[in-house]
Amino acid sequence: MTVLEHALAYARRGCPVFPLHGSAADGSCTCRLRGACPNAGKHPWGDRWQTHATTDAAQIRRWWTHHPDMNLGAVTGAPSGNIVLDVDPAKGGDESLRELERVHGALPETVIVLTGGGGRHLEFQHPGTPVPNSVGILGPGLDVRGDGGFVVGVGSRHRSGRRYVYEVTADPDTVVRAVAPPWLLECMRTGRVPACRSMAPRWCFAMASAISGCSSTARRCAATAGARR
Binding site for Zn ion (CB under 5 A): 21, 29, 31, 37
Report the residue number, 28 or 217, with the smaller CB distance to Zn ion.
28
| Shortest distance in whole angstroms from residue 38 CB to Zn ion | 8
Shortest separation between residue 27's beta carbon and Zn ion, angstroms: 11
- Three-class DSSP labels, the chain: CCHHHHHHHHHHCCCCEEEECCECCCCCECCCCHHHCCCCCCCECCCCHHHHCECCHHHHHHHHHHCCCCEEEEECECCCCEEEEEECHHHCHHHHHHHHHHHHCCCCCCCEEECCCCCEEEEEECCCCCCCCEECCCCCCEEEECCCCEEECCCCECCCCCECEECCCCCCCCCCCEECCHHHHHHHHHCCCHHHHHCCHHHHHHHHHHCCCCHHHHHHHHHHHHHHC
From the CB of 46, what's the least distance to Zn ion, in Å?
Answer: 13
Q: How far is the CB of 17 from Zn ion (least distance, A)?
A: 18
